[in-house]
Amino acid sequence: MNQDLQSLLQKFRSELREIGHYEEATRLMEWDLRTGAPKKGHELRAEALGTLSAKIFAMLTSENMGRYLNELTSAEAELSQVDRALLRVVRETYERSKKIPPERHQAYVMLVAKSQSVWEEAKKQANFSLLKPYLEKIIAFKREFIQYWGIQNHPYDTLLNLYEPGLTVAKIDPIFKQLREATVDLVQRIGEKGFPKFPVSLRREAPIHQQRHFSEKLLERIGYDFQAGRLDETAHPFEESLNHYDVRVTTKFVLDDVLNAMYSTLHEGGHALYEQHVSAELIGTPLCHGASMGIHESQSRFWENMLGRSRSFLQAIYGDFQAAFPGLFADVHLETLYQAANHVEPSLIRIEADELTYNLHIMIRYEIERALFEETCEVGDLPRLWNEKVRDYLGLETPNDALGVLQDVHWSGGDFGYFPTYSLGNLYAAQFRETLYKEIPDIEEQWSEGDFSQVLEWFSTRVHSHGKVLLPSELIEQATGKPLSADYLIRYLQQKMSDIYQV
C-alpha cells in the first residue's frame, strides 16, 4: 500500500473515531433516559439528543466523507479485508443518510426520544391512545424515508436491511412458514396432553436486593467482565455498548418471579459477551459491534435458552440459586427448576414467553409491521389487529393494551424491521449450537461442572471477534459450513420437547 493511500486511510479512520465519540455520548444519554433520568428533564434531553444526532449526521454526510469514500472505493482492491469491510459499512450509511434531508432526520430523532417516554406512561395506564399520535408520526417518517431510500421489491425490505443486511420479505417468508408450521404442531401436541401444572410453584416473593445479587453472580459465571460493564434496572431490559470497555446490562426485577430476572439477565448478558469480545483491533470504527441484529440475537438467545435452560447449566448454578434466596426455594429440587424453566404454555407477554411459543410472538409483530408498510393497515388498527392475531396464534384473549400492543418499547423507538431478528437469532443460535456440539462433544459435561470458558471461547473465535467485518450470511457459513436453515431450530425444539413432554 502506497503512502498516499495510508495517509488517506488514517484521515478516514480519524474522522470515524470522532463520529464514534459523538455516538458514544448519545448512547450514554439514551441509556440514562431508560434507567432513571428525571421525567421533567426528558424534553430537554430529547432536544440535546437531536443536536448531537444532527452533528453526527452532518459529519457522516459531509463533502469530506464523500471524498474519502470515492477515493477509497477507487483503491478498494489494495485494501485489507478489514478496511474493505469498513468502507462497505460506512458507504452504506453514507448513501442511506445522504438521501434524507438533515432537518427531517433531526426532527425524527427528537420525536423518537419523546415517544419512548410517552410509551412508558401509556403502558402504565394501559392506554394506547396516548402513544397513538406519536406512532402515527413515526410511521409517517418511516414511509417518507423508504421513499427517499427507494423501494426494490417490497417497502418493508428497506427496514429489514437496517438490522439484517441482505434480508428480504421473499427470503424470510418461507423460513418463517416452515418454522410456524412446526411450532404450531408441537404446541398443539403438548396442549392435547394438557399443559402441565407444577405441584410446587416458583412464584414466591424474593427481595430485589437478593435477585440483583443473583443476577450479578450469573453474569460473573458466564464470563461477563464487570470491570468493563455494570448491571442496572429498567422497565424493558436492554444492553448498551457505550464503547468496547463499557458494555452495560440492564434487567427487570419482578418481586414474585425470580426466573424473569434470571433469564432477562442471561439474555442481555449474551449480547454483552458479544460486544466485550469483538476484536480490540476494530476499536474506533463502526466495525466494533455485532455483525447484525440477527447474529446479535443468536448470542442472547443461546445464553438465555440453549445454555441457560439446559439441565447441565441449571445443575451448575443450582447451589447459587439456593444460596441467593436462603430457605425460599428449599423444596424446589433441580428437576423441578428444570421443568419450570422449560414450561410450555401460550402466554401474552413476549419477553416472558417460553422457548417454543416465543417465535409465534415474533410472527405476530412481523405480520403487523409488514402490513403497516404495505399500507394495508394504519396505526389506529393496531390494538384490534394485535388482539386478533394473539387469538389466532396463541388462542388467548388480550385483556388490555399494556398486555397487548403496548408491551414492547421497539415501535415507540422507531425500530420497525427489528422484531424478525429475534427469530433469526433463534435460527442462527440453533445452527451454531449443532456445530458446537459436534466439535466439543463433552460441552454439556463442562457446563454441569460450572465451566463455561470453552463455549465462550468458541463463540469469541467463530462469531464475536469478527465484529462487522463479515456479513451475516458469510459468518454463519464460515462458522457452520452451511447457509442459514430452519432445520436446525426445528430439530432442536422437537428433540427438547420430546425429552420433556414425550410428544
Residues labelled catalytic: 268
**434 marked as part of a ligand binding site:** no
Q: Between the CA of residue 245 and those of 21, 72, 218, 272, 470, what are the distances in Å?
A: 14, 30, 20, 11, 22
Instruction: 165-174: list long-range contacts, CB under 8 Å, 24+ apart.
Output: 165/92, 165/292, 165/471, 165/472, 166/471, 166/472, 166/473, 167/294, 167/420, 167/424, 169/370, 172/366, 172/420, 172/424
Residue 481 gets the label, from left (phi > 0), alpha (psi -120 to 50) or beta, of left
Q: Residue 217: what residue type? A: K
**267 marked as part of a ligand binding site:** yes
Q: Between the CA of residue 417 and those of 157, 334, 362, 364, what are the distances in Å?
A: 8, 39, 11, 13
Paired residues of 247 in beta bridges: 241
Q: Three cell numbers at 238?
A: 436492554
Residue 166 gets the label, from left (phi > 0), alpha (psi -120 to 50) or beta, of left
CA angle 458, 464, 467 (to 5 degrees): 155
Residue 334, SS3 per DSSP: helix
In this structure, how many other beta carbons lie within 10 angstroms of the beta carbon of residue 239? 22
The CA distance from 431 to 173, in Å, is 19
Residue 231, SS3 per DSSP: strand
> Torsion angle of alpha carbons 422, 426, 432, 437, nearest 10°?
150
**271 marked as part of a ligand binding site:** yes
Q: Are 442 and 136 in contact (CB under 8 A)?
A: no
- In what order do the strands lie in the sheet containing 231-233? 231-233, 246-251, 239-243
CA angle 121, 368, 149 (to 5 degrees): 95
Considering Cα of 174, then 349, then 425, then 431, what sign does the dihedral take?
negative
- Which residues are CB-contacts of 390 (< 8 A; sequence separation ≥ 6)? 348, 364, 396, 397, 398, 404
In this structure, how many other beta carbons lie within 10 angstroms of the beta carbon of residue 492? 19
> Torsion angle of alpha carbons 22, 27, 28, 33, nearest 10°?
130
- Which residues are CB-contacts of 447 (< 8 A; sequence separation ≥ 6)? 307, 310, 312, 313, 315, 316, 455
Annotated binding site for Zn(2+): 267, 271, 297
Annotated binding site: 267, 271, 297
